[in-house]
Chain A
Amino acid sequence: MIRSEILKEIAPILNPHLVVCNIGLPSQELHMIDDNERNFYMLGTMGLSSSIGFGLALAQDKPVISIDGDGSVLTNLGTLPTIANNATGNFTLLIIDNGSYGSTGDQPTYAGMKTNLTNVARACGCENVVEVQDKDLGTVLQAAIDSEEMTIIVCKCDSGNIKLPVITMDPVVIRHRFMEAVKG
């Protein structure tokens, strides 16, 4: 499965929850599949999906899912020790690991070579790290949300993209409606 197929499959699980979605194609795909006010689309700032989602989870009680990619986690690898050492049960980090920088033309990442993000997350001190194959993600994701224990999911999948337009919604609108959903 490629990322857009995975997102289509887990969209009903994500729908009731606050979701911070990675820059580029992941946000565009989620926007196409299930646009709603509980989605925060990153229009820039590669690497910070986990940090934004984690800050949000620490600031309030609702479950938060950060959708990240292997390339983006490698960009902000320092996030994993921070998350590990300040764990909060309402946070799930979902790393879609397709071994490539999808939004920029599928150049390979080191996560698709010798670097194992599951082991990296564990070495950083994350206690619940689950590696899962794409087709089994739904069950694992639902269990992680229900467990109320912070979970890092590394979802192994194929690289590949679908053609999509960019998100033209104003960033302040994205932020405002998201904050209203957080309060609601």
Chain B
Amino acid sequence: MNIDKKIVDDLVANDVSFVTTVPCKQLAGVIEEVDVREDIFHIPSNKEDEGMGLCAGAFMGGKRPAIIMQNTAIGVTINTLATLTQFYRMPLPMIISYRGELREPVACQVEMAVHTKALLAQLNIPTYHFHWKDDVKEFDNILKYTFMCNKPVAILTDANFWGGYGDQ
């Protein structure tokens, strides 16, 4: 199973047609896959809160959006999640590279990793953690759940899920 293709297949199957991305090495494959799909409009963002604004607009324009970003972004998007996505009750699947977890080579990434789940819990954001490759099978259900409840939902994907980080 190719994880990148599976994730993007599920996005398309759930009618997600507007995807914004802020890059991460672990997410390079899935971003590349998003970029080549004709069913998806891919717009890279310079910052994740900007991306959430784009997604809010796209949702109100009738498209199902998604954002792909690193977990460090949780540190910069809390205000946007609370006062835009949650306050106006908008759905937003957030496919998040969970840096700083097992098999992480960069120590600084751990500093945000230890806060990631606590911050998401504080915001009452439904959170799923993909650690094993097979966990991706839940993705389709998570997307359906997100658009059922009109909430931001976090899918944390760690280095082990992606098969390791670089040479690790």
- Write the residues of chain A forming the contact surface with B, with a CB cutoff of 8 angstroms: 20, 40, 42-45, 47-48, 50-60, 76, 78-79, 81-82, 86, 171-172, 174-175, 178-179, 182-183
- Please, which residues of chain A bring their CB within 8 A of the CB of B54? 51-52, 54-55, 58, 82
Beyond A48-B50, A78-B50, 19 additional contacts (C-beta under 8 Å) are A42-B84, A43-B87, A44-B82, A44-B87, A48-B80, A50-B53, A51-B52, A51-B53, A55-B58, A55-B59, A58-B61, A78-B47, A82-B43, A82-B44, A171-B89, A172-B89, A174-B88, A175-B90, A178-B60
Q: Which residues of B contact A (CB under 8 A)?
A: 18, 41, 43-47, 49-63, 65, 79-80, 82-84, 87-90
A54 touches B57 (CB 8 A): yes
Beta-carbon contact of B18 and A51 below 8 Å:
no
Question: Least Cβ distance of B88 to chain A in Å?
Answer: 4
> When chains A and B are docked, how far (Å) is the Cα of A49 from the Cα of B88?
14
Chain A residues closer than 8 Å to B41, beta-carbon distance: 58
Q: Using Cβ atoms and an 8 Å threshold, which residues of chain B touch A174?
A: 88
Please determine whether B50 and A82 come into contact, CB atoms closer than 8 angstroms.
Answer: yes
A172 to B150, CA, bound (A): 11
Q: In the complex, are the beta carbons of A79 and B50 less than 8 A apart? A: yes
Contact for A56 among B60, B82, B88, B90, CB less than 8 A: B60
A residues near B52, Cβ cutoff 8 Å: 48, 51
- Decide: A78 and B79 in contact? CB cutoff 8 A: no
Partner of B53, one of A43, A55, A171, A175: A55
Q: Is the CB of B53 within 8 A of A48?
A: yes
A183 to B80 alpha-carbon distance, docked (Å): 25
A135 CB to nearest B CB, Å: 31
CB contact under 8 A between A55 and B47, given known A20-B57, A44-B87: no
Q: A45-B80, A76-B49, A79-B50 are in contact. Are A171 and B57 (CB under 8 A)?
A: no
Give complex CA distance A89, B28 in Å.
30
